[in-house]
C-alpha cells in the first residue's frame, strides 16, 4: 500500500475544492436561465434579465440541475455534496416514469417543474420566439400611467409601486422591466420574501409606523431590507457644523442605486400595514376614526411638512403619506377602504414647481442617499396633479380636501388646486430633468447620477 505524500494530498484537496468548482460562477452568464417566482428569465448580452418567452425555459442552458438531487446549498462544499449525490444517484437510476402526454419536448431530463405554461406556449420552440410574441408574454409591469380602465377618472397605476387599487397579496408584487442584474436580484429578494411572509412583514412595518404616530410611507418600508440599512457597515458620521448625518458611502450608494428596484415591494408592505391599522381604527370611538392622506409631486415638501408639524400626524389615527411616485393613484383605494370602515379621510395636495424641486431632489439624495429617477419624478408632476383633480372632483362630497402650494417658494393654502399643476407635461418635464442630470453629471457622485437616470434603461430615453 502506497501512502500519498503531503503534496499529493494538498494537490487533491485543491482540485476537489476549487478547480472542480471553478466553472460554477456565481455571476450568471448570458443565455443562462433562472427561475424566479414570477417565471423564468434569461440573461441577455447586455446583462439584463429578460423573460423567457411563454415562460418556457431553455433546458440546455438551465442553471438548475435538470435531474438528480435538489440544488446545491451551502457554497462549494454543498456543491461537492450535491455532485457526490448525483454520482450516487447515477449508479442507481430510478425506475422509468410513465411519459406525460404532452412531454414531447423533453428528452431524458425531466423539467425542473416550473408552473405549466399555456398549451400553445408549451408546444412552441424555446429557442427564438418572434419578438412580438415575447413582448406579449412579458410578465413585467409596464403600465401606461395615463390608462384608467375602471373609469374613476384616476389612472390605475403609476410606473412604480403596486397598482393604485391593489394591496397585494392577493396578487404578487409587480416586477419592473429592464433592471440590471443587481437591481433584479434586490427586487426579487425583497418581493419574494414579502410574497411568502406578507402578513409578517406588514406587521413588522406596522410596528415601525406606530413609533411615528402611524405615518405610513412607502420609502420607510425600504428600511426593512438589510441592503438599504446596511447594518453590516459602521455607523454614519455627523457633520460637525450642521449636525446632519453623513451617510456611509456604501449606504448612500445603495440607496441611490436601488431605490427604484425596491419601490414596488416597499409600497405593497406599506399598503398592507396601513390596512391593518385601518382595521384597528374602525373599532375606535368616532372622534378617532379619522386619517390624513398626502399627495403631490416628488420632493414637493409634503413629507417634510408632516415632519415639521408633528401636531398634524398626532391629530389623526393614521397618515397615508403617499410617495410622489404613486402619481396620486392610491387615493380612490384609500377612500374606499376608509368608507368600508367608517373612517373619515382628509386629503392634502401640495402643488410645487418641478423645475425647482428636481434640483432639490438631487440635493436631497446627497444627504439621504435615496434618489428618485427622472422619469418617475416627471410622472409625479405630469400625471399626479391631474389624477388628484379628477379624484377631488368625483369625491368632494365624501371627504375633505386641502390644497396647498409651494410653487413660488412660499407656502400657501389655496381654495382649489393651483391650475399650474394641471399644465405640466410629463414628457417635457422628463426631458428637462434628464438634461439637468447631464448638466450636473460631472459634479454628482456616480450613484446619484445612476439612480436619477436609471429610467432611461428601464422605460426609455426622453423623446
Partner 1 sequence: MMKTEAKAAKADPAEKKEIEKLFKQGLEAALKDPEKFWDEENKRTAKTPVSKFLATLPMVHKKGKGKGKGKQESLVSELNALLDSVKDD
DSSP β-bridge partners for residue 344 = 290
CB of 7 to partner 1, least distance (A): 5
Helices (H) then strands (E): counts for the chain: 17, 11
Q: Which of the residues 160 through 189 are near partner 1 (CB under 8 A)?
A: 181-182, 185-186, 189
Please select the residue that binds partner 1; options are 167, 173, 291, 306, rule is CB under 8 A.
306
Question: Applying CB under 8 A, does 11 fall inside the site for partner 1?
Answer: yes
Cis amide linkage into residue 170, ω under 30° from 0: yes
Candidate segments 34-42, 130-138, 253-261, 321-329, binder of partner 1 by CB under 8 A: 253-261
Cβ atoms within 10 Å of 408's Cβ, excluding its own: 12
Candidate segments 60-68, 245-253, 277-285, 420-428, binder of partner 1 by CB under 8 A: 245-253
Question: Applying CB under 8 A, does 220 fall inside the site for partner 1?
Answer: yes
Q: Running DSSP on this structure, what letter comes out for residue 238? A: E
Taking the least distance from each CB to partner 1, the nearer of 189 and 431 is: 189
Q: Which of the residues 135 through 154 are near partner 1 (CB under 8 A)?
A: none
Q: Do residues 346 and 403 lie in contact, with contact meaning Cβ atoms separated by under 8 Å?
A: no
Taking the least distance from each CB to partner 1, the nearer of 244 and 355 is: 244
Please select the residue that binds partner 1; options are 219, 337, 353, 373, rule is CB under 8 A.
219
The CA-to-CA distance between both ends of the chain, in Å, stands at 77
Size of the site for partner 1 (CB under 8 A): 84
Taking the least distance from each CB to partner 1, the nearer of 170 and 409 is: 409
- 344 SS3 class: strand
Taking the least distance from each CB to partner 1, the nearer of 13 and 422 is: 13
Question: Applying CB under 8 A, does 411 fall inside the site for partner 1?
Answer: yes
CB of 116 to partner 1, least distance (A): 28
Taking the least distance from each CB to partner 1, the nearer of 105 and 246 is: 246
Question: Applying CB under 8 A, does 312 fall inside the site for partner 1?
Answer: yes
Question: Applying CB under 8 A, does 342 fall inside the site for partner 1?
Answer: yes
Write the interaction track for partner 1 spanning residues 186-205; mark x where CB under 8 A is met and - where it is not.
Answer: x--xx--x--xx--xx--x-
Q: Give the Cα separation of 391 and 351 in Å (integer).
A: 15
- The HSE-up count of residue 164 (CA atoms within 13 Å, CB side) is 35
Instruction: Write out the H or E segment, with its range, that includes residue 115.
Output: none
What is the DSSP secondary-structure string of 289-336? -EEEEEEESTTSSHHHHHHH-HHHHHTSSEEEE--GGGTT-SHHHHHH
Q: Which of the residues 67 through 96 are near partner 1 (CB under 8 A)?
A: 76
Q: Which of the residues 284 through 303 are near partner 1 (CB under 8 A)?
A: 286, 290, 292, 301, 303
Taking the least distance from each CB to partner 1, the nearer of 160 and 201 is: 201
Taking the least distance from each CB to partner 1, the nearer of 25 and 128 is: 25
Cβ atoms within 10 Å of 346's Cβ, excluding its own: 17
- Strands 344-351 and 318-321, sheet pairing: unpaired
Please select the residue that binds partner 1; options are 231, 234, 240, 285, rule is CB under 8 A.
231
The gap from C-alpha 163 to its chain's centroid, in whole angstroms, comes to 12
Q: Give the Cα separation of 369 and 257 in Å (integer).
A: 9
Q: Which of the residues 377 through 406 are near partner 1 (CB under 8 A)?
A: 397-400, 402, 404, 406
Q: Give the Cα separation of 217 and 206 in Å (integer).
A: 11
Q: Which of 43, 12, 85, 369 is nearest to 178 (CA)?
A: 43
> What b-and-e string marks burial along 84-108, b requiring 16 or more CB atoms within 10 Å of the CB?
eeeeeeeeeeeeeeeeeeeeeeeee
Please select the residue that binds partner 1; options are 29, 71, 133, 309, rule is CB under 8 A.
309
Q: Which of the residues 258 through 287 are near partner 1 (CB under 8 A)?
A: 286
Amino acid at each position: 500500500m502506497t501512502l500519498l505524500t503531503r503534496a499529493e494530498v494538498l494537490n487533491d484537496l485543491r482540485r476537489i475544492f476549487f478547480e472542480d468548482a471553478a466553472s460554477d460562477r456565481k455571476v450568471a452568464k448570458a443565455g443562462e436561465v433562472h427561475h424566479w417566482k414570477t417565471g423564468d428569465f434569461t440573461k441577455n448580452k447586455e446583462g439584463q434579465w429578460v423573460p423567457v418567452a411563454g415562460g418556457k425555459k431553455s433546458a440546455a442552458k438551465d442553471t438548475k440541475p435538470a435531474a438528480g438531487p435538489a440544488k446545491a446549498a451551502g457554497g462549494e462544499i454543498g456543491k461537492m455534496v450535491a455532485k457526490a449525490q448525483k454520482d450516487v444517484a447515477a449508479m442507481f437510476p430510478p425506475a422509468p416514469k410513465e411519459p406525460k402526454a404532452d412531454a414531447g419536448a423533453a428528452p431524458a431530463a425531466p423539467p425542473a417543474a416550473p408552473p405549466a405554461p399555456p398549451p400553445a406556449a408549451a408546444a412552441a420552440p424555446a429557442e427564438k420566439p418572434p419578438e412580438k410574441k415575447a413582448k406579449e408574454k412579458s410578465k413585467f409591469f409596464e403600465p401606461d400611467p395615463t390608462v384608467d380602465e375602471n373609469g374613476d377618472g384616476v389612472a390605475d397605476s403609476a410606473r412604480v409601486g403596486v397598482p393604485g387599487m391593489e394591496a397585494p397579496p392577493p396578487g404578487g408584487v409587480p416586477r419592473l422591466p429592464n433592471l440590471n442584474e443587481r437591481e433584479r436580484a434586490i427586487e426579487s429578494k425583497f418581493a419574494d420574501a414579502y410574497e411568502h411572509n406578507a402578513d409578517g412583514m406588514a406587521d413588522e412595518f406596522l410596528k415601525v409606523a406606530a413609533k411615528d404616530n402611524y405615518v405610513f410611507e412607502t420609502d420607510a418600508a425600504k428600511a426593512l431590507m438589510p441592503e438599504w440599512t446596511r447594518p453590516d457597515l459602521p455607523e454614519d458620521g455627523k457633520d460637525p457644523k450642521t449636525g446632519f448625518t453623513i451617510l456611509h458611502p456604501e449606504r448612500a450608494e445603495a440607496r441611490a442605486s436601488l431605490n427604484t428596484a425596491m419601490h414596488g415591494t416597499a409600497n405593497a408592505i406599506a399598503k398592507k400595514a396601513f390596512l391593518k391599522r385601518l382595521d384597528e381604527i374602525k373599532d375606535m370611538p368616532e372622534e378617532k376614526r379619522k386619517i390624513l392622506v398626502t399627495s403631490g409631486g416628488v420632493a414637493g415638501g409634503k413629507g417634510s411638512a408632516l415632519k415639521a408639524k408633528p401636531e398634524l400626524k398626532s391629530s389623526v389615527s393614521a397618515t397615508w403619506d403617499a410617495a410622489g411616485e404613486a402619481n396620486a393613484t392610491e387615493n380612490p383605494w384609500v377612500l374606499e377602504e376608509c368608507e368600508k370602515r367608517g373612517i373619515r379621510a382628509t386629503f392634502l395636495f401640495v402643488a410645487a414647481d418641478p423645475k425647482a424641486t428636481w434640483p432639490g431632489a438631487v440635493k436631497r439624495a446627497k444627504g439621504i442617499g435615496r434618489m428618485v429617477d427622472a422619469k418617475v419624478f416627471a410622472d409625479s408632476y405630469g400625471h399626479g396633479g391631474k389624477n388628484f383633480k379628477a379624484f377631488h372632483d368625483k369625491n368632494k362630497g365624501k371627504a375633505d380636501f386641502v390644497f396647498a402650494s409651494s410653487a413660488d417658494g412660499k407656502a400657501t393654502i389655496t381654495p382649489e388646486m393651483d391650475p399650474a399643476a394641471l399644465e405640466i407635461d410629463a414628457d417635457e418635464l422628463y426631458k428637462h430633468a434628464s438634461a439637468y442630470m447631464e448638466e450636473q453629471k460631472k459634479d454628482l457622485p456616480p450613484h446619484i447620477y445612476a439612480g436619477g437616470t436609471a429610467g432611461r434603461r428601464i422605460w426609455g430615453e426622453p423623446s
